[in-house]
Amino acid sequence: MSNDTPLVKGAALPNIPWEDRLDDCSDIVWRSERNPIIPRDLIPRSNSIFNSAVVPFEGAFAGVFRCDDKARYMRLHSGRSTDGIDWQIDPDPIRFVCDDDEIGAFDYGYDPRVCWIEDRFYVTWCNGYHGPTIGVAYTHDFVTFHQLENAFLPYNRNGVLFPRKIGGRYAMLSRPSDTGHTAFGDIFYSESPDLCHWGRHRHVMAPYGPGWQSTKIGAGPTPIETTEGWLLIYHGVLTSCNGFVYSMGAALLDLDEPWKVVARAEPYLLSPQHLYECVGDVPNVVFPCAALCDAATGRLALYYGAADTVTALAFARVDEMVDWVKENAIR
Ligand code: BMA
């Protein structure tokens, strides 16, 4: 890599959460000492708060959180934070403004992602409309959220927008699935001129090998634009004799044709190993949904759901992760 070319394209964000890697750790991704940063009961009626997305907002941070309530309804809540670690989450779910009652009154919402494109924040989530599909909304202020058309027919999950148009069109990754605890799943790429009509679907990646990503895979945080390609952090699932195990991995996608995989790492980056990742409502789940990136230093703060119960934070450096993906790529 040349020193005069910044690896990450994006804004400097010197105030994102950060902890240096401990001397005895050689991992590419390391956990916050403060984990889990969001407990399951941060708001009065929550059973669990996990698989949530945060972004820089007005010099601080905002986000959309998956809060399952004590009746076990899956809801989306808005939240704010000055430091990205201590969060104030609205105790009431987001009430989306939608012109069309048919799609506006959805059954459930979960696993949100948030992405800044051009002049506003877009939210995508797994939206209950005759089964799971990809809901889309936008907000300027994290107070009022305008819901748009669902992107795809059911059944689909893990809809993740790219942070800019590619080839003049909006771009999204998603994972077609089924009504239940889907035992399959590839990542696909789709394009749209208007965020309403989606097409030109392209296959990106299938599950791989007998290991951590052998059953299904799904995109995680908004892809990070680097000079080496889009850095995609994703989850992969292994079916063990005791159920699914969700881990985190990474790949590089072509900048202009992101359905083309430049490199995909064979080992995982993070797998459920700490107690809060192994024990909870669904054991053995590490589920990344957001990354704050300081383009000036390449520091990355990664937010992930742990055991479908709490929200945790981990750190990495984009340059190290890009090199690691290339060095450990499936050949
Ligand atoms: C997936 C989604 C995620 C969840 C995971 C593990 O199908 O429901 O929200 O974290 O299962 O239960």
Mutate to test the pocket of ligand 1, among 65, 181, 240, 304 (most ligand atoms within 8 A of CB): 181
pLDDT at 245: 98
pLDDT at 107: 86
pLDDT at 281: 98
pLDDT at 106: 77
CB 113 within 8 A of CB 290: yes
The minimum-distance atom of ligand 1 relative to the CA of 305 is 10
Beta bridge partners of 68: 48, 74
User: Tokens 């079916």 correspond to what residue?
Assistant: 239
Instruction: Tell me, in angstroms, the distance from the centre of ligand 1 to residue 318's CA.
Output: 26
Instruction: Tell me, in angstroms, the distance from the centre of ligand 1 to residue 227's CA.
Output: 32
In 3D space, the residue among 75, 76, 48 whose CA is nearest the CA of residue 62 turns out to be 76
Q: Whose CA is nearest to atom 9 of ligand 1?
A: 111
pLDDT at 269: 98
Secondary structure of the chain as H, E, C letters: CCCCCCCECCCCCCCCCCCCCCCCCCCCCEECCCCCCECCCCCCCEEEEEEEEEEEECCEEEEEEEEEECCCCEEEEEEEECCCCCCEECCCCCCCECCCHHHHCCCCEEEEEEEEECCEEEEEEEEECCCEEEEEEEECCCCCEEECCCCCCCCEEEEEECCCCECCEEEEEEEECCCCCCCCCCEEEEEECCCCCCEEEEEEECCCCCCCCCCEEEECCCCEEECCEEEEEEEEEEEECCEEEEEEEEEEECCCCCCCEEEEECCCCECCCCHHHHCCCCCCEEEEEEEEEECCCCEEEEEEEECCCEEEEEEEEHHHHHHHHHHCECC
The minimum-distance atom of ligand 1 relative to the CA of 66 is 9
The model's pTM = 0.97
User: Tokens 């009431």 correspond to what residue?
Assistant: 92
Lining ligand 1 with CB less than 6 A are 51, 110-111, 181, 246, 282, 285, 287, 305, 308
Q: Give the chain's residues under pLDDT 50.
A: 1-2
Q: In what order do the strands lie in the sheet with 88-89?
A: 46-57, 60-69, 74-81, 88-89
What's the CA gap between 188 and 37, in Å, rounded? 32
